[in-house]
Structure 1
Amino acid sequence: MTPRRRGLLGAVAAGLVAAIGLGGAAPAGAAERLDRDVLRRTVDGLPGEDVTGALVRVTGDDGTWWGTSGVADRRTGERVRSDVSFRIGSITKLFTGTLLLQLAGEGRVDLGAPVRRYLPGLLPEGYDGVTVGMLLDHTSGLPPADREMTVGDGSNAWRVAHRFDSWSPEQIVRGALRGHDRPVSVPGGRQQYNGVNSFVAGLLVERVTGRSYAHEVRSRITRPLGLGRTYVPAPRDTSLPEPHAHGYLALDREGGLADVTEQSPYPWAEGGMVSTAADLDRFLNALFAGRLLRPAQQRLLFTLPGPEVVVTDPEKRFSRAGLMPAVLPNGVEVWGKTGSEPGYVNGLFATKDRSRRLVYSLNYTNRPGKPEKPYILGIAKAAFTGAGKP
């Protein structure tokens, strides 16, 4: 996660996982029968000062349900539609990880090889121990992005004023490495969520394939799956395609909001993609079904690092492929990823057997002292347990 989003939403990278508990220890149960009334009441109760608009899509063995609430545009009063585009934030990491795992399955990348073999000159010699696989499960020990450069004083006002600032992937990586001749922790020894890993991974994809990251996403994932509204924006494309829901940030406790729908897509392979709920559901379904990866790489989706790896934050635990596990109070185990950009908080989660899948996108204003966790918890309960709070 880049500092821009870490400062904006605190624990949003943990999102659903922090709200419902970590996976891996409790036995997996079966999702309860989908309760559409609970889902409807949950979604209807979302809009307010903290959430201006919401979209929730639940699919699986019990069919497909979607619900929206709130406004897509506060100026016109237009309602949120089920097919709106939104900035998916760190969900982009799953696309990046999928590309790397595909290249590994083709024998073009060795997950156990040093990153410096593929990107000579990007990382200093002191990073010889950082392997490609460590980029995926956040055990590389790479330093985080330069906060002063990307987040400023951490306020919403700063983000509004600097929402069009842009940096190349190389600038982000070099900014993170400034003053760090060696990793901040022993490579492979500590798992600590860090968006710089995905910037490096995106650069590695480009070096190995000889084509742009956007081209590889399109040719390997979105086009084969028919994800017609999922894409990597051009570096200077600050727009969102219609229809879309506007994103807003609170400028003060009294509720003044600034429209941040248009913003720099600089997070790129780390968090810059745009998609829709239907496209993300199709992507997750295909990924879990083994349609995108070969068997050896598919197994990494649900394989957690061993006990020798220290998990810095138990609420941010990742598989060898970058998926986040969670176990709900009723024992249902789900896997997925959260993601955000200013004005947008999103997530996609599913049971391993794909019998229940959830995609949500909230237009979250980030008012001081108003965390997004309660809203995410309510959605998760409604989608997977039928016990959402009306």
Structure 2
Amino acid sequence: MTNSRISKARWTVAVAGLALAGVVGATVPAAAAAPPAVTAVAAQHGHVDPVALRAALAGLPDDYVRGAMIRVTGREGRWTGTAGEWTRPAEAPFAIGSITKLFTSTVALQLVGEGRLALDDTVQELLPGLLPASYEPITVGQLLSHTSGLQKPECVRPGTPVEVVTSAVSCGTPTAPGKTVQYNGINYFIAGLVVEKVTGRSYAEEVHDRVLRPLGLRHTSLPADDWAWAEGGMVSTAPELTRFMNALMRGRLLRPAEQKLLFTTPSVPDASFSYGGLTRTRLPNNGPLVWGKTGTNRGYTSGVFATPDLRRVLVYSMLPTGKNGDEEFKRIMRMAQAAFKG
């Protein structure tokens, strides 16, 4: 796989993650009259390039993306802008999709740090009967890093988390755990169930008490009506995702040993996800190394990425039309390269 194809895979793999065989009902935000040009909501330029950021949003709406929002922060400056049919405030809540997985992995690693869970614990030990008896043991670490070998969820149906997992493994055949990377949202449904089994409390309670409340994330939540749950059901805002990413990467949420796991990928070919659920990618044209996560749900395609030193943090969200995934990816890369330019 070429470098460009690797970058594309790593930035877009989570976009398809929530689809889970196409059964998630996306509630597309209502169209609105598009503003005539890119709107810079807030700016403090520093080393951030406002010209490049405006250019990355220019031309919206088009056939592939109706509108978008970018928020760039960090010690090198900040810039926030919107374009096209993104007519809501830049700080308004939106469905973050698979970015939810970072909240799930954070709670799981906290439990590891407390000695209540280990990456080598198996699903079969923790949740007996959830997976077919013929399956090889799958570890918590393999769930978090997408190396479980679980088959693509072509038969998945909405329901309770247990029903989702059961339906997902009702057809197809898994591969050997720990051998390859295969992005699969079912891994994080199971991780959420592990959190509940270990703590004896609901996943939503654990995320709230361990992450949302300590960080003051008052506009980040897990809606009760979104069955994507620990895999992709949360709602947040650009400022709060920025705050979460800063806290996560600075070690405010994890103990030192687990903080190291946040940036550790398993020893498998083309490993792209860490034990903390972060994906690592090098931007094209000698761009910087960044860590983060993408997600899609309810008509939004979003991402949060940062340089390891938090020199720059990017949160973006856009309203794709669904007509052409390659064109959506090109727009995402334009936004990412503009955000991390310089």
TM-score, normalized by length of structure 1?
Answer: 0.74
How far apart are 1:34 and its partner, in Å? 1.3
Alignment of 1:43 with 2:57, yes or no, is: yes
Question: Which residue of the other structure, out of 323, 346, 349, is the alignment partner of 2:302?
Answer: 346
How far apart are 1:219 and its partner, in Å? 0.5
- Structure 2 residue aligned with 1:252: none
The AA in structure 2 aligned to 1:218 is H
Question: Which residue of the other structure, out of 78, 96, 105, is the alignment partner of 2:104?
Answer: 96
How far apart are 1:289 and its partner, in Å? 0.1
How far apart are 1:45 and its partner, in Å? 3.1
Question: Which residue of the other structure, out of 72, 80, 84, is the alignment partner of 1:66?
Answer: 80
How far apart are 1:179 and its partner, in Å? 4.4
Question: Which residue of the other structure, out of 253, 257, 260, is the alignment partner of 1:299?
Answer: 260
State the alpha-carbon separation in 2 of the partners of residues 44 and 334 from structure 1. Answer: 24
Paired residues, number: 304
How far apart are 1:370 and its partner, in Å? 5.8
CA contact (8 A) 1:53 1:80 kept: no
- Structure 2 residue aligned with 1:122: 130
- Structure 1 residue aligned with 2:37: none
Question: Which residue of the other structure, out of 340, 353, 356, is the alignment partner of 2:312?
Answer: 356
3-state SS of 2:134 partner: helix
Q: CA RMSD in A?
A: 2.0
3-state SS of 1:363 partner: strand
- Structure 2 residue aligned with 1:224: 214
- Structure 1 residue aligned with 2:163: 171
State the alpha-carbon separation in 2 of the partners of residues 345 and 60 from structure 1. Answer: 22
3-state SS of 1:46 partner: coil
Alignment of 1:197 with 2:187, yes or no, is: yes
> Percent of aligned positions with the same letter in both sequences?
50
Unpaired runs of 5+ in structure 2?
1-13, 23-45
- Structure 2 residue aligned with 1:245: none
The AA in structure 1 aligned to 2:123 is V
- Structure 2 residue aligned with 1:310: 269
State the alpha-carbon separation in 1 of the partners of residues 300 and 227 from structure 2. Answer: 16
How far apart are 1:3 and its partner, in Å? 6.4
3-state SS of 2:327 partner: coil
Higher relative contact order, structure no. (Cα contacts within 8 Å, ≥ 6 residues apart) = 1
Unpaired runs of 5+ in structure 1?
9-31, 73-78, 151-165, 237-264
Question: Which residue of the other structure, out of 213, 218, 233, is the alignment partner of 2:203?
Answer: 213
State the alpha-carbon separation in 1 of the partners of residues 58 and 171 from structure 2. Answer: 49
The AA in structure 1 aligned to 2:280 is P
How far apart are 1:145 and its partner, in Å? 1.9
State the alpha-carbon separation in 1 of the partners of residues 238 and 126 from structure 2. Answer: 34
Q: Deviations over 1:48-76 (max 9, x none)?
A: 2322221100000122211011224xxxx
CA contact (8 A) 2:20 2:153 kept: no
The AA in structure 1 aligned to 2:247 is A
Q: Deviations over 1:121-175 (max 9, x none)?
A: 212333352111110001111222234x55xxxxxxxxxxxxxxx4111111001
State the alpha-carbon separation in 2 of the partners of residues 207 and 7 from structure 1. Answer: 27
State the alpha-carbon separation in 1 of the partners of residues 90 and 168 from structure 2. Answer: 38
Distance 1:48 1:7, change over 3 A: farther
- Structure 1 residue aligned with 2:278: 323
Greater CA drift, 87-96 or 323-332 = 323-332
How far apart are 1:6 and its partner, in Å? 6.1
Distance 1:3 1:305, change over 3 A: closer
CA contact (8 A) 2:17 2:295 kept: no
Alignment of 1:137 with 2:151, yes or no, is: no
3-state SS of 1:190 partner: coil
Distance 1:4 1:93, change over 3 A: closer
- Structure 1 residue aligned with 2:43: none
- Structure 1 residue aligned with 2:241: 280
Distance 1:124 1:7, change over 3 A: closer
How far apart are 1:327 and its partner, in Å? 0.9
The AA in structure 1 aligned to 2:329 is K
State the alpha-carbon separation in 1 of the partners of residues 134 and 177 from structure 2. Answer: 11
CA contact (8 A) 2:302 2:317 kept: yes
Greater CA drift, 136-145 or 224-233 = 136-145
How far apart are 1:368 and its partner, in Å? 4.7
CA contact (8 A) 1:115 1:128 kept: no
Alignment of 1:268 with 2:229, yes or no, is: yes
- Structure 1 residue aligned with 2:34: none
3-state SS of 1:38 partner: helix
